[in-house]
Chains A and B, each alone.
Chain A
Amino acid sequence: MTSAVSLGPDTRANDYHAWPDARGRFGEYGGRYVPETLMPLVLELGEAYAAAKADPVFQAEVAECLRTYVGRPSPLHLATRLSEHLGGGRVYFKREDLNHTGAHKINNCVGQILLARRMGKTRIIAETGAGQHGVATATVCALFGLPCVVYMGAVDVERQAPNVLRMELLGAEVRPVTSGSATLKDAMNEALRDWVANVEDTYYLIGSAAGPHPYPAMVRDFQTVIGTEARAQVLEAEGRLPNAIVACVGGGSNAIGLFHPFLDDEAVKIYGVEASGEGMQGRHAAALNGGRPGVLHGNRTYLLQDKDGQITEAHSISAGLDYPGIGPEHAWLHDVGRVSYLTATDAEALTAFRLCSRLEGIIPALESAHALARLPEIVQAAGPSGVVVLNMSGRGDKDLAAVAAMGDQAR
């Protein structure tokens, strides 16, 4: 898109921080496509979040919890052996895998649980794919003594069994969802059905930078701690900004968290990596590379759908990327060209998973392994003295069974 109109509500070019607009739009994407029953709740949430965001006491509360409970700031690790292996340059990992609960998801959960308390909500529901968001939600619910119901696709319950046990140990009730494809999108449908039926007391804690406004903006805001820290850390380590930053994208919360503080740094190339599963000709989960705009789960964004507008099933070896949509801000960043969205297949992710484990002593989440898989090209483009920051969004312990089941492919 070349028209200035698409660049920002105040027509200042490159003002990436002006979005979303008052209607919850990022360009043509986002919005509030929810049933009327939920509309007053979504509007109330928007107001409550705006007030909290402007309240220094709330912000201090979030920051303190991130510091003492999550363990922030997370370190920026120079991946020396991997950099050498890739033929030069310096690759840094932003170590979100070292957060309490082992992924970036907790950043957003801390923010939203404090908001839910502030709003006087007494029951928390969530959806989860890989189980990382479910674990993070169950964790903060245990921390604050709130009952928690997590909807999880039956397929994911099976392939992410350790996280199911974790959630149950934390006192959450995990409800397997068997409708549709029994994965993340169906878990989200079921969570929305729960919310519609329990409007009085329930707070829906969405884990992706998706859903109706204000969720995409709110989840992004709570995740930008990743990019804000990474930007300061790389400036301190290198004395300059990186040439490129990269993150995997499913719904896209870890990616938008890393990207957002770098959007105005025009010299920094930004890459998102979608899961292309069996390859773009086969089953995949690449909404931007293989989908078209539509409306699902409260927002307008790129979706995997058939010619009749029915949502098609996504596929990825990584449960956290196995979603037919993507956050609306990514849809917009794709259209305006600020972020390049690449893809990595199941097989490429597995190769990168193994490589990272052996070269850096870090077993990455299969989600993060998709970003790792595109490093060779990104590092090459950055040149021999290039600096690249990759978001290590989570740890891979939860994926060991799935990787073992792939047999020789993974070794």
Chain B
Amino acid sequence: MSGRIEARFAQLRGEGRAGFVAYVMAGDPDFERSKEILLGLPAAGADVIELGIPFSDPMADGPAIQRGALRALAAGTNLQRIFDLLREFRRQDAATPVVLMGYLNPLLSMGYREFARAAADAGADGVIMVDCPPEEADPLADALDAQGLALIRLATPTTDAARLAVVARRTRGFVYYVSVAGVTGGKAVDAVAVAPQVERVRAASGLPVAVGFGIRTPQQAAAVAKVADAAVVGSALVDAVAGALEAGEDPAAAVRRTASDLAAAVRTSRREAVHG
């Protein structure tokens, strides 16, 4: 077990601030440029990286991440290439936790045990599977446990107290709180409404809570960072890739810019809260 997730959240607690979790799609727009994007994220202020596994039918994602997945698949991205990408990243960064996020079928296709072995070997720390609720998760959790990988669970506005106990079972690292009922990049987060939910999830799981799904702007990220242990931004970064491609610019530079602004907002939000 790498312990990178636990170490990072302990460090954040020590610094008295929330973390910035950056989601990018693996292989978007192609292997080389995706590598450059990934390598630039820690310097831009990403505390944790969520690396999207592209899937043909991403039913919980909005148009931005759907298009990112299509670009990555068109460039030939598959799990083997994602592990290659991750290995390249680990050569330069041994501290930033990387969580693989996606849908179950590519993992099933490879086989859970083989996936877990290869993911751990490449330097992954955890896995988030959008279409794998706790009721269906045991075989995957067994395979991940055997390799010391965390299966990070999702809690949502529709998760009531009874279900929260189910969600918290066998989860490790942190809990991902989906702040809005909707797809990624859709509705905007309401940080005030999220605050008690974060408390609820924290109490039930005893784990840090990262909030995502409705955060696009530095303002929104800062508001969430005041109440959560981390703020996750995905669609805005994937959109930065799309925008740069459209404008004939460098996607890695565009992602760095967007990520830096978001990271700065997250880092300073609690300080601002104290000083005024």
A305–B58 Cα distance when bound, in Å, is 14
A196–B130 Cα distance when bound, in Å, is 12
Task: Tell me, yes or no, whether B75 is within 8 Å of chain A by CB.
Answer: no
A305 with B156, Cβ < 8 A, contacts A31-B136, A36-B133, A310-B73 known: no
Partner of A33, one of B109, B110, B132, B163: B132
Contacts of A305 in B (CB 8 A): 105, 109
Partner of B131, one of A23, A33, A309, A311: A33
Q: What would be 10 A-B contacts, judged by CB atoms less than 8 Å apart?
A: A23-B135, A33-B136, A38-B158, A39-B159, A193-B183, A296-B57, A297-B57, A308-B109, A309-B105, A311-B56
Contact present for B158 and A295 (CB under 8 Å)? no
Contact present for A197 and B187 (CB under 8 Å)? yes
Contact present for B105 and A303 (CB under 8 Å)? yes
Q: Which of A36, A180, A193, A293 has the most CB of B within 10 A?
A: A36
Task: Tell me, yes or no, whether B59 is within 8 Å of chain A by CB.
Answer: yes
Chain A's closest residue to B78 (CB) is A308
Q: Which of A307-358 contact B (CB under 8 A)?
A: 307-312
A198–B181 Cα distance when bound, in Å, is 7
Contact present for B158 and A311 (CB under 8 Å)? no
Q: Mark A290-307, 1 if CB is under 8 A from B, else 0.
A: 000111111000010101
A40 with B56, Cβ < 8 A, contacts A32-B135, A193-B62, A305-B109 known: no
Task: Tell me, yes or no, whether A375 is within 8 Å of chain B by CB.
Answer: no
Main secondary structure of the interface of B (DSSP, over half): loop
A250–B212 Cα distance when bound, in Å, is 37
Q: Mark B47-87, 1 if CB is under 8 A from A, else 0.
A: 00000000111111011001000000100001100000000
Partner of A32, one of B133, B181, B187: B133
Q: Give the shortest distance, in Å, between A366 (CB) and chain B (any CB).
A: 25
Contact present for B186 and A197 (CB under 8 Å)? yes
A41–B92 Cα distance when bound, in Å, is 44
Count of A residues near B, CB < 8 Å?
A: 37
Chain B's closest residue to A307 (CB) is B109
Q: Give the shortest distance, in Å, between A160 (CB) and chain B (any CB).
A: 22
Contacts of A199 in B (CB 8 A): 158, 181
A197–B156 Cα distance when bound, in Å, is 12
A196 with B182, Cβ < 8 A, contacts A35-B59, A35-B60 known: yes
Q: Mark A24-40, 1 if CB is under 8 A from B, else 0.
A: 00000001111111111
Task: Tell me, yes or no, whether A192 is within 8 Å of chain B by CB.
Answer: yes
Contact present for A34 and B181 (CB under 8 Å)? no
Contacts of A33 in B (CB 8 A): 104, 131-133, 136
Task: Tell me, yes or no, whether A189 is within 8 Å of chain B by CB.
Answer: yes
Count of B residues near A, CB < 8 Å?
A: 42
Q: Give the shortest distance, in Å, between B72 (CB) and chain A (any CB).
A: 11
Contact present for A295 and B131 (CB under 8 Å)? yes
Partner of B110, one of A36, A185, A296, A309: A309
Contacts of A39 in B (CB 8 A): 133, 135, 158-159, 163
A192–B103 Cα distance when bound, in Å, is 14
Contacts of A31 in B (CB 8 A): 135-136
Task: Tell me, yes or no, whether B108 is within 8 Å of chain A by CB.
Answer: yes
A80–B73 Cα distance when bound, in Å, is 53
Contact present for B60 and A309 (CB under 8 Å)? no
Task: Tell me, yes or no, whether B107 is within 8 Å of chain A by CB.
Answer: yes
Contact present for B55 and A310 (CB under 8 Å)? yes
Contacts of B57 in A (CB 8 A): 180, 185-186, 189, 296-297, 311
Contact present for A35 and B105 (CB under 8 Å)? no
A311 with B105, Cβ < 8 A, contacts A33-B133, A35-B130, A36-B155 known: yes
Contact present for B107 and A34 (CB under 8 Å)? no
Task: Tell me, yes or no, whether A179 is within 8 Å of chain B by CB.
Answer: yes
A296–B109 Cα distance when bound, in Å, is 12
Given contact pairs A36-B167, A196-B183, A296-B57, enumerate 14 new A-B contacts (beta carbons under 8 Å).
Answer: A34-B131, A36-B154, A36-B155, A37-B178, A37-B181, A37-B182, A38-B158, A39-B133, A39-B158, A39-B163, A179-B63, A193-B59, A197-B181, A199-B181
A180–B61 Cα distance when bound, in Å, is 13
User: What 7 A-B pairs are tightest by C-beta distance, nearest first?
Assistant: A309-B109, A197-B182, A309-B106, A308-B78, A37-B156, A310-B56, A36-B154
